[in-house]
A and B are shown apart, each in its own frame.
Chain A
Amino acid sequence: MTLPTQTLARLLLAPLLVLAAGMLVKGYTDVGDGFAAGLLAAVGFVLQDVAFGQRRAESLLPVRWAYRLALGGLGLALAVAVAPMLAGEPVLKHRPEPGVSPVKVGTLELITPVLFDVGVCLLVLGTVVTGLHLFAHPGEEEEQRS
């Protein structure tokens, strides 16, 4: 790829991640949620792949950890869903409860669904990056881990 593409790709990574974080936070009052945020963040990584080629991009970025990131995100989202059940409440019950005014950081309200959305975001990001890696190197994954 040409130098302008590479420069642009590199320049865009950080803003895309910030945009993704914004999308996640905005989701509570406006358009956006964890899923869209995850996709946006993943676009940042896909862009590096396209601009630098799979090999170089993967040597620069922690792609190896994407698989664990995805499972970690799923685990986080599930933990938010299951935790209320341990206290005998319905699944996915959120804290603080509706009606109780939560702590606010800017427009973001600190409630457990935010954690759930962070989990979803990580899951989407991890899945896209892992998928891309597996399509580029089919069969390699199995050998590495054995």
Chain B
Amino acid sequence: MSPVLPLMIAWVAAVVLALLDSRRRWVAWLVVAALALVFASSLALLLDVLAHGPRTTVAGGWPMGIGIVFSADALGATFAAVSVGVVLAAVLFEALHGTRSRTFGALALFLTTGLCGLFLTGDVFNFYVFFELAMIAAYSLTTYGQEARQLRAGLVFAVVNLLGSFIFLIGVAGLYRVTGTLTMELVAERVATVDSAATVPIAISLLVAFLVKLGLFPFHFWLPTVYASARPAVAAILGGALANIGAYGLLRFGADILPETLRLGAPVLLVLGIASLLYGSLQAVARRSAPGVLAYSSIGQVGYVIVALAIGGPVGYAAAILYAVVNSLNKALLFLASELRGWLVGLAFAVGALSVAGVPPAAGFLAKLEVLRAGVEQGAVVLGLLVLGSALSFVYMFQIYQHDFWREERSVPAGGRAIGAVTASVAVVVLALGLWPEPLLAVSRRAAAMLAGGAG
């Protein structure tokens, strides 16, 4: 199966749907159908990759090293499937709500195109191009709703992340300068012989760019405004799909392309990860509105991914991948459920809260378990801080659950049964992955083994 299939379906659908008005019901459903097709093809690609190994194709059928490479491996295909799934849930949610802007559907599809492209490319510069495509769509999506606070959030988001993208581009230019190629596989091969005086600045610029995208502690300042002001569906897309760029980018560029430099920088990542974890959790405990708590919780939760990445090795990478996947599902679920009410939604929110807090049987338990397993080697201090972060996440999630769902005085539009069902189905996925964790564990271990083995 060609690795560009999901990408091309999304892209063509985006162009066609850009001509139509998403406020019409049938167009909104067409967007959902197109995304369902993209989701199905990315799942098929994932299964194909798991069964037959990585798939690579060179644009134009040119030989390797001349043409632009597209490549799907276990890591990329997993992130593609999860991210497209989250976008699908959010768009379905918005279609049931009644889409409010003519461009929503096309923008969501362009964002999906960018995400599929960057997860399935084997070319460093193409990664940047698709990254920028996804980001531009995201800037516009943030303003969805058209109220003053959303426009403000859109501006903050665009300004900060354009800087991040620029820093990333400098890193890409640096990689090209020292290796003379843009194909990831060749870059990884050649960069091993390059002096670390040249690779460290490049690695730092890439790291900063991805940390800005993830919203890790010292680079988090834009995140609460954006996540808390965006509409729930958009916040779910930003927190559940777009943030994956940061996690995937760090895994791809750190573990796959610059493993030596990653090892060199591991202590820094460990400190940053734990700082983010504690800062995000403490801030979240102090918030009283669901979007605020969720925004700061995002800052805290990515800390786990970074800590796992810093620990490294097959166990650490597997934990990082698993945590990133589970975290994106959690965030999608919680943001979607945050403004709805009713017993079904309450139940769904509780599942998400359990998952963030790391209580079985939700998938979050598994993810935290893996991170703690990886953290055992780092000694008592790191382990203690990870557990402290966990405990705080338990506190803030249930504080907000109690505050929002047990008090009946807030009259919020119930939002219909179908919307509740969409949210509940994401919750079912989170529960199912917790109850039957084997496939997800196997996938993340496969991808981690590939990263640790150094084979692109």
Contact = CB atoms under 8 A, between A and B. Distances in A.
Given A82-B8, A85-B2, A146-B102, A93 B61 contact: yes
Interface in B63-108: 70, 102
A21 interface: no
Given A85-B2, A85-B4, A145-B102, A91 B59 contact: yes
A92 to B, nearest CB: 4
Contacts of A78: 8, 11-12, 15
A44 to B, nearest CB: 25
Interface in A8-42: none
A146 B23 CA distance: 9
Contact of A91 (B4, B23, B102): B4
B189 interface: no
Closest 5 CB pairs of A and B: A90-B61, A92-B59, A92-B60, A93-B61, A91-B4
Contact of B15 (A74, A91, A142): A74
Contact of A75 (B4, B5, B15): B15
B3 to A, nearest CB: 9
Interface string B42-74: 000000000000000111110000000010000
A112 B120 CA distance: 25
Interface string B435-448: 00000000000000
A90 B59 contact: yes
Nearest to B7: A91
Interface of A: 68, 71, 74-75, 78, 81-82, 85, 89-94, 142, 145-146
B18 interface: yes
A82 B59 CA distance: 11
A117 to B, nearest CB: 14
Nearest to A73: B15
Contacts of A90: 2, 57-61
Nearest to B18: A71
A114 to B, nearest CB: 14
Given A90-B59, A91-B57, A92-B60, 4 more contacts: A78-B8, A82-B12, A85-B8, A94-B60
B104 to A, nearest CB: 12
Interface residues of B, number: 19
B380 to A, nearest CB: 52
Nearest to B57: A90
6 contacts: A68-B19, A75-B15, A75-B16, A81-B8, A82-B8, A91-B57
Interface in B6-36: 8, 11-12, 15-16, 18-19, 21, 23
Interface of B: 2, 4-5, 8, 11-12, 15-16, 18-19, 21, 23, 57-61, 70, 102
A78 B9 CA distance: 10
B420 to A, nearest CB: 30
Query: Most chain-A CB neighbours within 10 Å: which of B5, B8, B16, B61?
Result: B61
Query: Most chain-B CB neighbours within 10 Å: which of A81, A82, A92?
Result: A92
Nearest to A77: B15
Given A85-B2, A91-B2, A91-B70, A142 B57 contact: no
A90 B102 CA distance: 34
Contacts of B5: 85
B61 to A, nearest CB: 4
B114 to A, nearest CB: 14
Contacts of A82: 8, 12
A78 B8 CA distance: 8
A89 B8 contact: no
A73 B18 CA distance: 13
A89 B61 contact: yes
Contacts of A74: 15
A85 B70 CA distance: 14
Contacts of B23: 146
Given A78-B11, A78-B12, A91-B4, A145 B59 contact: no
A92 B61 CA distance: 8
A81 B67 CA distance: 14
A128 to B, nearest CB: 15
Contacts of A81: 8
A89 B57 CA distance: 10
Contacts of B61: 89-90, 93
Contacts of B12: 75, 78, 82
Contact of A71 (B2, B8, B15): B15
Nearest to A146: B102
A91 B102 CA distance: 31
Nearest to A97: B61
A68 B19 CA distance: 8
Nearest to A90: B61
A89 B70 CA distance: 14
B44 to A, nearest CB: 15
A145 B21 contact: yes
A75 B12 CA distance: 7
Contacts of B102: 142, 145-146
Contacts of B18: 71
Contacts of A146: 21, 23, 102
A81 B7 CA distance: 12
A71 B19 contact: yes
A90 B66 CA distance: 14
Contact of B60 (A68, A75, A93, A142): A93
